[in-house]
Each structure stands twice: as structure tokens, then as C-alpha cells.
């Protein structure tokens, strides 16, 4: 399950919000990488933000997401069956 998905015209965007507790440790990092690889192979783009970064600089995180959505052709009102 994705934390947040944005369906864009050129590709889909997965936004992951990594909490420090759940995403710490080698096993969790390995699982995250494997998941990223699977999604990337299916054509998804992935942004990961730590919980600390989201809470400390929400505006910058939101701007990063906006830039990624623009780069991927803008939000698509009708999600495709890709990925």
C-alpha cells in the first residue's frame, strides 16, 4: 500500500512518509529499497520524506511534490491502468 499516490499524465508518483521508528534498521531499509525497485520497474516515480523533514519543513516538502507533479505532466483527473 502506498502512503500517497498522485496519478500524473506522464507517469505516476508515489509519495512515502517515512516515520523514524518504522523505517529504521537494515531490514526495513532493505524492504523499502525492494519496494522502490518494484515500483520503479512498473514506471512509478518515488519521493520519500522523513517524518522529521515533513514536520520541520512542510512547505519545502510540498513544493518538492508540486515540482515533481509538474515535471510528470500535471495531475491526471482519470487514473490510468499503468503500473
Is there a domain that residue 19 lies in?
A: yes
- How many independent structural domains does the chain possess? 1
Asked if residue 76 is part of any domain, the answer here is no
Q: How far apart are CA 3 and CA 15, in angstroms?
A: 6
Q: Let me know if residue 9 belongs to a domain.
A: yes
Helices (H) and strands (E) in the chain — how many of each?
A: 3, 3
Residue 73 φ/ψ, nearest 5 degrees: 95, 5
Of 17-31, 44-58, 68-82, the poorest mean pLDDT is in 17-31
Take residue 55 and report the three cell numbers written for it: 514536520
pLDDT, position 82: 52
Evaluate whether residue 83 is within a structural domain: no
Q: In this predicted model, what pLDDT tens digit does every residue of 18-50 receive, in sequence order?
A: 876 655 667 777 888 899 999 999 999 999 999
Query: pTM for this structure?
Result: 0.80
* Domain limits for position 29: 4-71
Alpha carbon distance 24, 31 (integer Å): 11
Q: How would residue 79 be classed by pLDDT, with cut points 50, 70 and 90?
A: low
Q: Assess if residue 16 is contained within a domain.
A: yes
Among 13, 64, 60, CA closest to 36: 13
Amino acid at each position: 500500500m502506498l502512503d500517497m499516490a498522485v496519478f500524473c499524465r506522464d507517469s505516476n508518483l508515489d509519495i512515502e512518509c517515512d516515520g523514524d521508528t518504522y523505517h529504521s534498521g537494515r531490514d526495513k531499509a532493505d524492504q523499502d529499497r525492494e519496494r522502490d525497485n518494484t515500483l520503479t520497474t512498473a514506471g512509478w516515480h518515488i519521493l520519500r520524506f522523513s517524518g522529521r523533514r515533513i514536520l520541520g519543513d512542510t512547505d519545502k516538502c510540498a513544493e518538492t511534490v508540486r515540482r515533481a507533479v509538474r515535471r510528470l505532466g500535471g495531475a491526471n483527473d482519470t487514473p490510468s491502468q499503468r503500473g
